[in-house]
Structure 1
Amino acid sequence: MSSTYVKPAVITDGRLGHLTPEQTEKLQQFWIRLYEIFDGKTPFDQTVPSSFKGQARDEESGAAPAPKAGWFSRGKSASESSSAPVAPRFTGQDIYTCFWKLTMMDHPDLIVLKFIRARKWVLDDAMKMFLNALKWRIVERLDELVELSDVELDAKYPKFIEQMRIGKGYLRGADPLDRPMSVVNTRLHHKADQPAETIHRFTLYTMECGRTVLPQGAETVIVIFDLSNFGLDNMDWGFVRLFVQCFESYYPETLGVCVVHRAPFVFWGLWKLIQPLLDPVVASKFVFTRNNEELHKVVPRERLPITHYGGLDDWTYKYVPAAPGEDDAMKDLAKKEELLAERHALEAGFDRTTREWIKSVNGKNAPERDEIAQQLREQYTRLSPYVRATNLYKRWGVAVEGQVNWTYNVVPEQK
Structure 2
Amino acid sequence: MSTSRSIAPGRPETLTKEEEAKLKQFWNAALKVFGTSAPEDSESLPQAPATEEENGNSVTSPTSPTSPDKRKKGTLGRLLSRKEKTGAPKKEAVAATGAGADIVIDASDDKYGHTREFKAALASQTPAELRDAFWSMAKCDNPDALLLRFLRARKWDVDKALVMMVATMNWRSKEMNVQAVVGKGEGGAAAEKDNDFMMQLRMGKSYLHGLDKEGRPICFVRVRLHKQGEQSEESLERYTVYIMETARLMLQPPVDTAAVVFDMTGFSMANMDYAPVKFLIKCFEAHYPESLGICLVHKAPWLFSSIWTVIKGWLDPVVASKIHFTKTTEDMEVFIPKEKIPKELGGSEDWTYTYVEPIPDENSPFEDGARRNMLQSTREEQIRKYEAATRAWIASGEAGESAAAERRAISRELATGYWEMDKYLRARTVYDRTGVLLPNGEVNFYNYKKEKASAVETSEDDID
Shorter-normalised TM-score: what interval?
0.7 to 0.9
Q: Is the 8 A contact 1:175 1:181 kept in 2?
A: yes
1:166 partnered with 2:203: yes
1:181 is matched with which residue: 182, 193, 218? 218
2:442 is matched with which residue: 400, 403, 407? 403
Change (3 A) 1:281 1:98: same
Letter in 1 for 2:413: Q
- CA-to-aligned-CA distance 1:317-350 (integer Å, 9 cap, x gap): 0001111121111111111111111111111111
Q: Is the 8 A contact 1:116 1:123 kept in 2?
A: yes
Q: Is the 8 A contact 1:28 1:361 kept in 2?
A: no
How do 1:255-294 and structure 2 match up within 5 A?
255-294=292-331
Distance 1:363 1:156 in 2: 58
Distance 1:133 1:86 in 2: 9
Distance 2:185 2:138 in 1: 21
Letter in 2 for 1:107: N
Distance 2:234 2:185 in 1: 17
Identity %: 35
Partner residue in 2 for 1:379: 417
1:347 partnered with 2:386: no
1:35 is matched with which residue: 31, 44, 50? 31
TM-score (norm 2): 0.76
2:158 is matched with which residue: 101, 106, 123? 123
Shift of residue 149, structure 1, vs aligned partner? 3.2
Distance 1:131 1:149 in 2: 25
Letter in 2 for 1:315: W
Letter in 2 for 1:135: N
Q: Is the 8 A contact 1:23 1:363 kept in 2?
A: no
Letter in 2 for 1:377: A
How do 1:8-407 and structure 2 match up within 5 A?
10=6, 12-39=8-35, 40-41=94-95, 43-45=98-100, 51=112, 89-139=124-174, 140-154=176-190, 155=192, 157-306=194-343, 308-362=344-398, 365=401, 366-400=404-438, 401-407=440-446
Shift of residue 151, structure 1, vs aligned partner? 3.4
Q: Is the 8 A contact 1:29 1:361 kept in 2?
A: no
- CA-to-aligned-CA distance 1:73-95 (integer Å, 9 cap, x gap): xxxxxxxxxxxx99971222221
Q: Is the 8 A contact 2:7 2:14 kept in 1?
A: no
Contiguous gaps of at least 5 residues in structure 1: 1-5, 57-84
Secondary structure of 1:243's counterpart equals helix
Secondary structure of 2:229's counterpart equals helix
TM-score (norm 1): 0.85
Letter in 1 for 2:432: K
Letter in 2 for 1:259: L
Greater relative contact order structure (CA < 8 Å, 6+ sep)? 1
- CA-to-aligned-CA distance 1:144-176 (integer Å, 9 cap, x gap): 121113132353744211101111011111123
Shift of residue 364, structure 1, vs aligned partner? 5.3
Distance 2:335 2:238 in 1: 29
Q: Is the 8 A contact 1:145 1:153 kept in 2?
A: no
Distance 1:127 1:335 in 2: 34
Secondary structure of 1:225's counterpart equals strand
Change (3 A) 1:128 1:301: same
Change (3 A) 1:337 1:86: closer
Secondary structure of 2:412's counterpart equals helix
Shift of residue 45, structure 1, vs aligned partner? 4.8
Q: Is the 8 A contact 2:257 2:291 kept in 1?
A: yes
Secondary structure of 1:106's counterpart equals coil
Letter in 1 for 2:188: E
- CA-to-aligned-CA distance 1:220-246 (integer Å, 9 cap, x gap): 000001111111111111111111111
Letter in 1 for 2:13: G
Secondary structure of 1:171's counterpart equals strand
Q: Is the 8 A contact 2:187 2:428 kept in 1?
A: no
Distance 1:41 1:309 in 2: 55
Deviating more after overlay: 156-165 vs 321-330: 156-165
Q: Is the 8 A contact 1:25 1:363 kept in 2?
A: no
Shift of residue 278, structure 1, vs aligned partner? 0.5
Number of corresponding residues: 373
- CA-to-aligned-CA distance 1:258-296 (integer Å, 9 cap, x gap): 100000011110111111110010010001001222111
Change (3 A) 1:359 1:335: same
